[in-house]
C-alpha cells in the first residue's frame, strides 16, 4: 500500500509539473504574440492594420539655387522634423519642379519604424529596418541638396501649383488626424504668363481678381514656413510674407502657421 501511495504521489507531482510547464509555454507564446510588431507595408513601412495617424510633408523649392547657408538650413530643418516623428508617423520629402509643378518629385516617403529596443527579434529585424530608413532618408536629403545646386533663377517659381498638388495627394487627405506641411522656399511665386509676386502691389486680392482661382484646401494642416533669404529681393519677400501669404493661408483654412525667422 505504501508503494502504491508513493507511485501515486510521484505521478501527481509529474502531472503538476507538466501543467506548470504548459502554462509557462502558453504564457511565453502569449507574450510573444502581444510583442509581435504590427503588420507594415514593405515599401513605406507604414502600418496596414490601421489608418495613418500623422503625415509630415517637406516641400523643397529647388527652382532657384540654394546657397551653402540655405543648404545648411535645409539639413537642420529635416533633422528637426525627423525628431518630431512618433512611431509609424509618415515623413515625405518632395521637390518642387518648375517644369512639372503639378507633380512634385517625391524624394522620400516612409513611416518611422518602431525602434529596435522596443521590437521582438523573433518577428522583425528592427535594426535593419531602422538602418534602411536612415540610409534612404539621407539619400533623399542628398538628392534635395544636389537638385538645389542648379544654376541661377528659374523662369518660373510655381509654388501655388505645388500646394494644390499636395492638397490633392490621396496620402495626405483630411482623414489623417495630424498633418504637417513644411515649406522651404523663398516664397516668391512667379509665373511670367500669370500671377507674380515680383510685381508691385501683388497681394492676395490681386491674385483672386487676376486668376479667379481658389486656394489649395489645407484644412487642419499645421504649417511651418522656412523662408530662404534672397538679398536681392528682400523687399519683395517682406511684402509677400506680409501681404499675400497670410491671407492665402487663412483662405486655405490652415490650422496654424509658424514662420522661421530670417538669419
* Residue 151, pLDDT above cutoff 50: no
Poorest-pLDDT segment among 32-46, 171-185, 209-223: 32-46
Query: Mean pLDDT across the stretch 123-149?
Result: 69
User: Is the backbone of residue 212 left (phi > 0), alpha (psi -120 to 50) or beta?
Assistant: left
The answer on pLDDT for 28 being more than 80 is no
Query: Given pLDDT bands bounded at 50, 70 and 90, which one contains residue 60?
Result: very high
**216 contacts 169 by C-beta, under 8 angstroms:** no
Helix, strand or coil, per DSSP, at residue 17 = helix
On whether the CB atoms of residues 77 and 181 are closer than 8 A, the answer is no
Q: What is the CATH number of domain 54-259?
A: 3.40.50
Q: What is the mean pLDDT of the chain?
A: 82
Q: Which residue has the higher pLDDT, 3 or 133?
A: 133
pLDDT tens, position by position, 83-135: 999 989 999 999 887 777 788 888 889 898 876 555 555 555 566 766 777 78
Q: In percent, how much of the chain has pLDDT > 70?
A: 76
Q: Where are the beta strands (DSSP E) in 10-120?
A: 54-61, 90-96, 105-111
For the stretch 154-191, pLDDT in tens is 567 899 999 999 999 999 999 999 999 999 999 999 98
Check: pTM over 0.85? Answer yes or no.
Answer: no
pLDDT band for 32, please (50, 70, 90 cuts): very low
Cross-sheet strand order for the sheet of 256-259: 105-111, 90-96, 54-61, 178-185, 221-227, 256-259
Q: Which pLDDT belongs to residue 26?
A: 46
The pLDDT of residue 65 is 81
Q: Is the pLDDT of residue 237 over 90?
A: yes
Amino acid at each position: 500500500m505504501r508503494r502504491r501511495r508513493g507511485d501515486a504521489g510521484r505521478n501527481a507531482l509529474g502531472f503538476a509539473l507538466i501543467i506548470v510547464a504548459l502554462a509557462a509555454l502558453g504564457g511565453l507564446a502569449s507574450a510573444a504574440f502581444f510583442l509581435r510588431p504590427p503588420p507594415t507595408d514593405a515599401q513605406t513601412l507604414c502600418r496596414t492594420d490601421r489608418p495613418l495617424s500623422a503625415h509630415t510633408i517637406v516641400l523643397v523649392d529647388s527652382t532657384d539655387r540654394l546657397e551653402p547657408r540655405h543648404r545648411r538650413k535645409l539639413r537642420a530643418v529635416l533633422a528637426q522634423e525627423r525628431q518630431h516623428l512618433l512611431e509609424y508617423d509618415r515623413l515625405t520629402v518632395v521637390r518642387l519642379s518648375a517644369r512639372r509643378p503639378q507633380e512634385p518629385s517625391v524624394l522620400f516617403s516612409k513611416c518611422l519604424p518602431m525602434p529596435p529596443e522596443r521590437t521582438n527579434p523573433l518577428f522583425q529585424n528592427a535594426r535593419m529596418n531602422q538602418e534602411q530608413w536612415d540610409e534612404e532618408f539621407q539619400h533623399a536629403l542628398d538628392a534635395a541638396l544636389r537638385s538645389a545646386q542648379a544654376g541661377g533663377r528659374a523662369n518660373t517659381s510655381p509654388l501655388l501649383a505645388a500646394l494644390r498638388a499636395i492638397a490633392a495627394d490621396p496620402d495626405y487627405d483630411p482623414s489623417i488626424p495630424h498633418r504637417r506641411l513644411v515649406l522651404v522656399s523663398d516664397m516668391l511665386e512667379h509665373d511670367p504668363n500669370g500671377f507674380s509676386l515680383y510685381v508691385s502691389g501683388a497681394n492676395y486680392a490681386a491674385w483672386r481678381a487676376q486668376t479667379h482661382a481658389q486656394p489649395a484646401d489645407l484644412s487642419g494642416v499645421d504649417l511651418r514656413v522656412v523662408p530662404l533669404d534672397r538679398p536681392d529681393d528682400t523687399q519683395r519677400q517682406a511684402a509677400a510674407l506680409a501681404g499675400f501669404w497670410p491671407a492665402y493661408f487663412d483662405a486655405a483654412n490652415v490650422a496654424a502657421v509658424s514662420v522661421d525667422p530670417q538669419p
